[in-house]
Amino acid sequence: MWYGGKLVFDGQLSVGILTSFLVYTVQIAGCLAIISSLYGDFMQVSAAVSPSSLLVSPSSLLVSTHCLML
């Protein structure tokens, strides 16, 4: 910001170009913030789903020994 202001003051950069650069920078930062928030949400969901596999009792996973041979 300081360097951009210095360039505007020296006449090497217009105020409009500096403003558009700052607006685009803020938009990109906002998109990156949304993406990182989405990644955090996915991590929370994966952490919440993992322990549910522990709720299945091991006895329900056993195969019955009373099968008919064909």
Helix H or strand E segment including 9: helix 2-10
The answer to whether residue 12 scores a pLDDT higher than 80 is yes
Highest mean pLDDT among 2-16, 25-39, 51-65: 25-39
Confidence of residue 43 (pLDDT cuts 50, 70, 90): confident
**What pTM, to 2 d.p., does this model score?**
0.54
**Cβ pair 20, 30 in contact under 8 A:** no
Spell out a b/e string for 48-69, using b for 16 or more CB atoms within 10 Å of the CB, else e: eeeeeeeeeeeeeeeeeeeeee
Mean pLDDT computed over 51-68 = 58
